[in-house]
Structure 1
Amino acid sequence: MRKEWILRWSFFVFGLIILAFGIALTIEGKVVGIGPWDVFHYGMFLKLGLTIGSWSIIIGFLLLTFASIATKKLPKIGAFLNMLLLGLFIDFFMWLLPSINSLIGAIFYFILGVVLIGYGIGIYVSADLGSGPRDSIMILIVDKTGWSIQWVRNGMEVLVLILGWALGGPVGIGTVIIAFLLGPIVGFSLPQCKTLLKYMLEKKEHKKLAA
């Protein structure tokens, strides 16, 4: 059991690292456009200072608090760590990545970033240790209203996109591409990551029994 939890937490943290790296890449290539939530975080950064990762943490904390009050349940440790670690990793990679001044470089960063975001989500979600703050709110709204997940998620992303754009966040064709392309990438990566995790867990179990 202990080894299983170590493996699951390893997937969880590694997935968040990959996700944050992908987000940082798209932000560095912002001339193409970035994801709706990142538009919002970037807009808050422009208007009020702090860092993009800090705003990711702050907004995530507010969403978790609201979800906890509405459900009268404390968030899972995975949801809290998702909120905290993702913001820290985003700021780290924003500091680490070299700036780019060409459209070709921005497009390269964007494409690589979107793929990594999709796989980062697949890896951390496959660990099954709790959804992030934004997904927690989405699930809460679905449970309370009975609306479809797709409509609720799209509605949330349109709302934060409008808010972020009003604050001056970078919106471009890439923003639309992320909105439509990310779902299929996650739909492809998540089963792969679940299969890999299952294989590694079974392999460890077989070694344990053989010993």
Structure 2
Amino acid sequence: MPAQRRQLAALNPIQQLQAGQVPRRLVQLYLGLILYGASMGLMIQGNLGLDPWDVLHSGITKHLDVSFGTVVIAMSFVVLLAWIPLRQWPGFGTISNAIVIGLVTDLTLTTVARPDELWLRAVFMVAGIVVNGLAGAMYIGAQFGPGPRDGLMTGLVRRTGLSVRLVRTTIEVIVLGIGWLLGGVVGLGTVAYALAIGPIVHVLLPLFTVKLSVPAVPTPSPQPQEQPEA
């Protein structure tokens, strides 16, 4: 009988496809990615400060003549290199993450106008943070491989045994510092995101982690002992 596991499993790409509930997981994956890209667009249009990774992305755009979404996609592949020492497995969801989020973010920026009213900008900021945490829990919980940035979190959690809340917050603070040095936009929303996103994902991830059927590793049968000669 396969072992039923609710927590995130360390699966290679083939095992991710063989673990069951593929249609349901694909829907959850892509809905999460779309919501994540839209939440990034809302944060940007709220204009009260970007999330820490977007501070880094916006800082890079000040030095390179490329679109924001293009930087998001490019940085996704750069961050994948940090997975090597963590022995974090990528998957179909990892590649989808690197592409879909950037495209949806650009689409959101072209279709959602930036409001002038402070209260509406605050709504954009709060909605962006909450939806971002929800979306992250959804696509990570689909277990097709985390996104490049979230792979840092899940890899470090697995390797260190520390909580999602602590690891995610530490990553956000470090990325924020680098982005600020590059001239990225920092504001109230940046601080709110850095402090809130770790606890939100910490709470929601177990709720959206799909229960998988992971084949149990067979236990080798004991070898017969040789009887000593009389």
Query: TM-score normalized by structure 1?
Result: 0.79
| Per-residue deviation, 1:174 | 1.6
Q: Which of the numbers 30, 34, 58 marks the counterpart of 1:13?
A: 30
Report what 1:33 is aligned to: 49
- Aligned pairs for 1:40-119 (under 5 A) are 40-68=56-84, 70=85, 75-119=90-134
CA distance in 1, matches of 2:187, 2:96: 30
Larger Rg: 2
Q: Deviations over 1:104-129 (max 9, x none)?
A: 22111111111211211122122111
Q: Does 1:166 align with 2:181?
A: yes
| Per-residue deviation, 1:192 | 4.0
| Per-residue deviation, 1:172 | 1.4
Report what 2:224 is aligned to: none
| Per-residue deviation, 1:142 | 5.6
CA distance in 2, matches of 1:72, 1:123: 22
Report what 1:155 is aligned to: 170
CA distance in 2, matches of 1:2, 1:191: 18
Alignment RMSD (CA, Å): 2.8
| Per-residue deviation, 1:153 | 3.4
Q: Which amino acid aligns with 2:193?
A: I
Report what 1:175 is aligned to: 190
Unaligned runs of 5+ in 1: 202-211
Q: Is the 8 A contact 2:88 2:155 kept in 1?
A: no
Larger proportion of helix: 1
CA distance in 1, matches of 2:88, 2:168: 22
| Per-residue deviation, 1:169 | 1.4
Unaligned runs of 5+ in 2: 1-17, 213-230
Query: TM-score normalized by structure 2?
Result: 0.73
Report what 1:184 is aligned to: 199
